[in-house]
């Protein structure tokens, strides 16, 4: 999944097409003089150009954008992932790559759904490149029988009704389906007493343990961790988006840990456990290699039967404390994103000192 939504994020958490066995559509399309074709994943120059376009597009007028480094993206685009197909395309005009895009499609669950992202550099916009890239991504997903095509983006609050990205989405037939709010917590945490929050929460969750691990997670936690993780898509408010439970397994956790190692990412996971050692909640913080000064908040969830014990607050406060002890002063902010109607999660984030910085809408195109 894309990084912009952080846990879909962003995002989780991509490049099949003509040269790969997983491709669903092998064509090259032309729009005017432009050719839209699969990214040549074996060409490091083209990969670097693809990466540069994505970063320029994401960072334009967005001081808090989360972006991937070249190494992270190369691993994402060149390695097969048993859980996700990734269709990466480029728009080429007279031998110059002028646009880029990707569709992420889960292979193990949510087979109705794909996440789409077109990117165009600021000085090449408004020439039809974005629409041409998007049309190719839509065609790829339709050929794969995906019916719910989702495009997530971010922009300032004051333009939420008429920002160019919203106009672009609507012009291409997508409709607003959910709205998340991007928030930032500045590091180091000095204005909030994290120890006091941990102590405040503790009497409410006697009988539970809260512990932090950095990859790899211990074997014995994996089955219950996966069960908790797989609920997130359905438990988090999604507006008009429809999700099924995900299908993460202990084996796939190990695959992703290996992949993160090669990407230079660190994942710091704080879990809440019963006395018997069953994971009933988790909080993931990811320290990306190149996206300074950012740390990405990925998922946070407490399993419904165990809610009401302040485990959410306890895990997040503990996670931030652990983070501060494990990263250097170059990390000066944590980025997170929550549906605006997700009152419980938002109230915890507000207590931890996260401040709103932008709106992150999701647009949906439902195809028959
Ligand atoms: C969104 C993005 C891909 C658009 O790329 P683009 O090449 O400029 O898009 P197009 O030229 O195909 O624009 C198609 C239509 O979108 C609308 N649109 C795009 N930019 C607009 C702007 N600045 N103001 C008003 N409408 C705009 C217009 O209706 C336009 O058609 P028109 O030019 O005939 O009026 C590009 O701005 C981008 O990379 N944004 C950052 C990445 C992102 O968030 N992508 C997902 C967006 S939902």
Q: Among the three residues 180, 204, 237, which one is the final residue of a domain in this structure?
A: 180
For the chain, how many structural domains are there in total?
2
Would the pTM of this model clear 0.85, i.e. be above it?
yes
Task: Characterise 189 by phi-psi region: left (phi > 0), alpha (psi -120 to 50), beta (else).
Answer: beta
Q: How far is the CA of 58 from the centre of ligand 1 (A)?
A: 13
Mutation choice for ligand 1 from 120, 128, 130, CB with most ligand atoms inside 8 A: 130
Atom of ligand 1 nearest to the CA of 124: 7
Q: What is the pLDDT of residues 68-124, one digit of tens each?
A: 999 999 999 999 899 999 999 999 999 999 999 999 999 999 999 999 999 999 999
Sequence-separated contacts (24+) of 281-284 with Cβ below 8 Å: 281/228, 281/306, 281/311, 281/312, 281/315, 282/225, 282/228, 282/229, 282/315, 283/315, 283/316, 283/319, 284/7
- Among 7-16, 77-86, 164-173, 323-332, where is mean pLDDT lowest? 7-16
Is 22 part of any domain?
A: no
What pLDDT does 32 receive? 84
Mutation choice for ligand 1 from 168, 175, 177, 364, CB with most ligand atoms inside 8 A: 168
Q: How far is the CA of 163 from the centre of ligand 1 (A)?
A: 10
Cα–Cα distance for residue pair 161/94, rounded to 1 Å: 36
Q: Among the three residues 157, 180, 203, which one is the final residue of a domain in this structure?
A: 180
Are 176 and 188 contained in the same domain?
Answer: no
Are 55 and 108 contained in the same domain?
Answer: yes
Are 104 and 142 contained in the same domain?
Answer: yes
229 compared with 11, residue with greater pLDDT: 229
Percentage of residues in the chain having pLDDT higher than 70: 93
Is 18 part of any domain?
A: no
Q: How far is the CA of 245 from the centre of ligand 1 (A)?
A: 33
Is 4 part of any domain?
A: no
Are 145 and 285 contained in the same domain?
Answer: no
Residues within a 6 A CB radius of ligand 1: 57, 117-120, 125-131, 151, 153, 164-165, 167-169, 171, 363
The residue whose CA is least distant from atom 19 of ligand 1 is: 168
Q: What is the pLDDT of residues 329-364, one digit of tens each?
A: 999 999 999 999 999 999 999 999 999 999 999 999
Atom of ligand 1 nearest to the CA of 155: 44
Cα 157 to its chain centre, rounded Å, is 20
Q: How far is the CA of 4 from the centre of ligand 1 (A)?
A: 17
Are 95 and 242 contained in the same domain?
Answer: no
Beta strands in the chain (DSSP E): 29-31, 34-38, 84-93, 96-106, 113-119, 148-152, 175-186, 208-214, 266-274, 279-287, 294-302, 333-339, 355-366
Are 143 and 43 contained in the same domain?
Answer: yes
Q: What is the pLDDT of residues 176-201, one digit of tens each?
A: 999 999 999 999 999 999 999 999 99
The residue whose CA is least distant from atom 33 of ligand 1 is: 126
Instruction: For residue 279, give its domain range.
Output: 184-359
Are 197 and 265 contained in the same domain?
Answer: yes
Atom of ligand 1 nearest to the CA of 174: 48
The residue whose CA is least distant from atom 16 of ligand 1 is: 168
Q: What is the CATH number of the domain that holds 96?
A: 3.40.630.30
Task: Characterise 176 by phi-psi region: left (phi > 0), alpha (psi -120 to 50), beta (else).
Answer: beta
What pLDDT does 368 receive? 86
Q: How far is the CA of 122 from the centre of ligand 1 (A)?
A: 10
Are 92 and 234 contained in the same domain?
Answer: no
How long a stretch of residues is the chain? 368
Q: Among the three residues 180, 215, 230, which one is the final residue of a domain in this structure?
A: 180
Percentage of residues in the chain having pLDDT higher than 90: 90
Q: What is the pLDDT of residues 199-217, one digit of tens each?
A: 999 999 999 999 999 999 9
Cα–Cα distance for residue pair 140/149, rounded to 1 Å: 11
Q: How far is the CA of 145 from the centre of ligand 1 (A)?
A: 26
Are 192 and 167 contained in the same domain?
Answer: no
């Amino acid at each position: 999944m894309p990084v912009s939504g952080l846990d879909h994020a962003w995002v989780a958490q991509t490049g099949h097409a003509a040269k790969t066995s997983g491709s669903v559509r092998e064509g090259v399309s032309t729009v005017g003089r432009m050719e839209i074709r699969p990214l040549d994943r074996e060409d490091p120059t083209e990969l670097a150009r693809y990466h540069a376009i994505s970063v320029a597009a994401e960072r334009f007028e967005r001081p808090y954008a989360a972006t991937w480094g070249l190494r992270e993206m190369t691993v994402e685009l060149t390695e097969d992932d048993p859980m996700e197909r990734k269709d990466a395309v480029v728009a080429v005009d007279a031998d110059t790559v002028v646009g880029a895009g990707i569709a992420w499609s889960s292979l193990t669950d949510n087979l109705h759904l794909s996440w789409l992202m077109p990117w165009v550099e600021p000085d090449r916009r408004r020439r039809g490149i974005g629409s041409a890239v998007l049309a190719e991504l839509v065609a790829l997903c339709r050929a794969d029988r995906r019916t719910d095509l989702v495009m997530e983006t971010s922009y300032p609050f004051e333009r939420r009704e008429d920002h160019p990205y919203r106009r672009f989405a609507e012009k291409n037939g997508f409709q607003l389906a959910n709205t998340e709010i991007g928030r930032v917590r500045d590091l180091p945490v000095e204005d909030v007493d994290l120890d006091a929050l941990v102590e405040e929460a503790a009497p409410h969750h006697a009988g539970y343990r809260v512990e932090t691990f950095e990859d790899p997670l211990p074997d014995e936690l994996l089955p219950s961790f996966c069960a908790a993780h797989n609920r997130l898509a359905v438990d988090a408010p999604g507006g008009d988006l429809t999700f099924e439970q995900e299908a993460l397994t202990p084996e796939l956790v190990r695959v992703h840990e290996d992949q993160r190692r090669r990407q230079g990412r660190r994942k710091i996971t704080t879990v809440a456990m019963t006395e018997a050692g069953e994971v009933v909640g988790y909080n993931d913080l990811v320290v990306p290699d190149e996206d300074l000064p950012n740390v990405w908040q990925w998922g946070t969830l407490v399993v419904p039967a165990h809610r009401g014990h302040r485990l959410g607050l306890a895990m997040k406060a503990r996670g931030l404390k652990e983070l501060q002890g494990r990263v250097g002063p170059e990390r000066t902010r944590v980025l997170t994103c929550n549906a605006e109607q997700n009152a419980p999660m938002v109230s915890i984030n507000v207590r931890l000192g996260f401040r709103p910085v932008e709106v992150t809408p999701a647009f949906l195109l439902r195809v028959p």
